[in-house]
Chain A
Amino acid sequence: MTLTPSDRVAEVPPSGIRRFFELAEEMDDVISLGVGEPDFSAPWAAREAAITSLERGQTSYTANRGKRELREEIARDVRRWNLEYDPDDEILVTAGASEALDLAFRALVNPGDTVAVAQPCYVSYEPGVTFAGGEVLDVPTRVEDEFKLTPEVLSEAGAEDADLLVYCYPNNPTGATMNRAELFEVAQFCREHDVDVLSDEIYADLTYEGEHVSIAEFDGMRERTVVFNGFSKAYAMTGLRLGYAMGPAEVISAMNRVHQYTMLSAPTTAQHAAIEALRNCEEEVAEMRKQYDRRRNFVLSRFEEMGVDCFEATGAFYVFPECPGDDAEQFAEDLLEAEQVAMVPGSAFGAGADGHLRASYATGLDELKEAMDRLERFVA
């Protein structure tokens, strides 16, 4: 007998970007616009807090739900988005927002449950649903709707019968955001059809136009929503692995039950850094947001100048241009081979993404300029 992966795991295909990633790794002098993480380092004060915690020997487990001090800071911080959560039993600190999402799938999805996934989306949602034994319902958003979720899009996909809806705004990979009026309509749909929501808001602080709005602020939605956020994107703390989930006490308790048997607690050092980040790093976040916004303007202008149609992203650090060629995967590979510029083919991010490419502008402006010059040469 040999070790054999479970059917559930075998069912999940490898990431759509794996082959592309391997190609990019093999080549020299690649300018990668395929990186979904900040090129900044975490604010110094947060790093200093992490160092100090180590010097003090604070290296043991924390409470399963995370340090109370951190949960209190999170509760205080999210009030700016009209969200009110009790740090005692409505907030769970996790090893990245990815863990929080996985916990939610495992805690909320019964075998055979349907989870509607708004797409294009972060690559982990579908596997997460499958690992939990659920069935994925594709909800492709459309470029003509600016990749926003609408009641029409949900109805067309048959999401009335879904048990859960998962989405991410500001969105990876499109950079789309949703305003209050648009989210209100989605909330109405969810209440009307009894659909619960997993709202991934990891890019909330990277909203460039308008304000970030959470669906959980609407009447009757707090009870049926879990909100996810973390420190990876806005605070450039990807490697520290720290996220959190907020929701009704019963759901957070169920998620914590899974968490306590798998992770026990999120990294202690990272929690110390996160407390400092929330207390004293607002200016650094604002500065990073300003830099991303400039790069966004720059990249969008360059696409326009070279005649490449590009959806006007208003959040996160991605743009999602239409592929100038017929086949986005082939185009991305050819671009990589010819000009050593890596852009991820949209198909990696699920339904509704065909014919697009994702370009991250979480890279220095000099490199962005060079990448755009090379792309311009390639599409000429």
Chain B
Amino acid sequence: MDERDELLELLCENARYSTADLARLTGRDEEAVEEAIDELEAQGVVQGYTAIVDWDAVGDERVQAHVECNVTLDRETSYRDVAKRLAGFPEVQGLRLVSGDYDFALEVEGQNMREVSRFISDKVAPLPEITQTVTHYIMETYKQGGYRFDDGGDDDRLSVTP
């Protein structure tokens, strides 16, 4: 694995690794690591850094939904054009064009079900290219971004072993 891939892998694992930590983990020079990350950011390879949060754990009542969207296109409108409009809504946390029974998969977040429902019916469904939406509310998250929410990480090994 080259340096670039290794750094990306480590940042995906934990975006909070300091450049000093990344240098220690990879056995490389700290300055070189810093330069490589700057370059990855400048090239748009690294688009941002975020935390994976189990909102239930802090008693937050926010609601998330997975929304399937079907669209019809014409000569003047492409998937990219529709995606641009959908991505502009701050409620849309994730947006992907997918193969299969529907076209776009949206991740929508709101403070409650009413807010999410209203967003879909008032903002998404009326778009002229949208022909159908199917909303699935997220009931429980068990794993996100590779992290298991039910894994307490309890270490039941003996404190000291041979």
Contact = CB atoms under 8 A, between A and B. Distances in A.
Interface string A351-380: 000000000000111000100000000000
Interface residues of B, number: 16
Given A35-B161, A37-B161, 19 more contacts: A15-B162, A20-B160, A21-B158, A24-B159, A24-B160, A35-B157, A35-B158, A35-B159, A39-B155, A124-B162, A172-B162, A294-B10, A294-B25, A297-B24, A297-B26, A298-B25, A301-B27, A344-B160, A365-B25
A32 B153 CA distance: 15
7 contacts: A17-B162, A21-B160, A24-B159, A25-B159, A32-B157, A35-B161, A297-B24
Given A35-B157, A37-B157, A39-B157, A123 B26 contact: no
B152 to A, nearest CB: 13
Interface string B136-158: 00000000000000000101011
Contact of A297 (B14, B27, B162): B27
Given A39-B155, A39-B157, A364-B153, A302 B24 contact: yes
A297 B153 CA distance: 23
A297 B25 contact: yes
B32 to A, nearest CB: 14
Contacts of B23: 301
A102 to B, nearest CB: 14
- Give the bracket for the number of chain A residues in contact with chain B: 20 to 34
B41 interface: no
A25 B160 CA distance: 8
A369 B20 CA distance: 12
B150 to A, nearest CB: 14
A122 interface: yes
Interface of A: 15, 17, 20-21, 24-25, 30, 32, 34-37, 39, 122-124, 172, 294-295, 297-298, 301-302, 342, 344, 363-365, 369
B21 interface: yes
Nearest to B151: A41
B31 to A, nearest CB: 15
Contacts of B10: 294
Contact of A34 (B24, B26, B153, B159): B159
A235 to B, nearest CB: 16
A36 B161 contact: yes
Contacts of A294: 10, 25-26
Contacts of B159: 21, 24-25, 30, 32, 34-35, 342
Q: Which of B23, B155, B158, B162 has the most CB of A within 10 A?
A: B162
B137 to A, nearest CB: 29
A369 B21 contact: yes
Contacts of A364: 153
Contacts of B25: 294-295, 297-298, 365
Contacts of B24: 297-298, 301-302
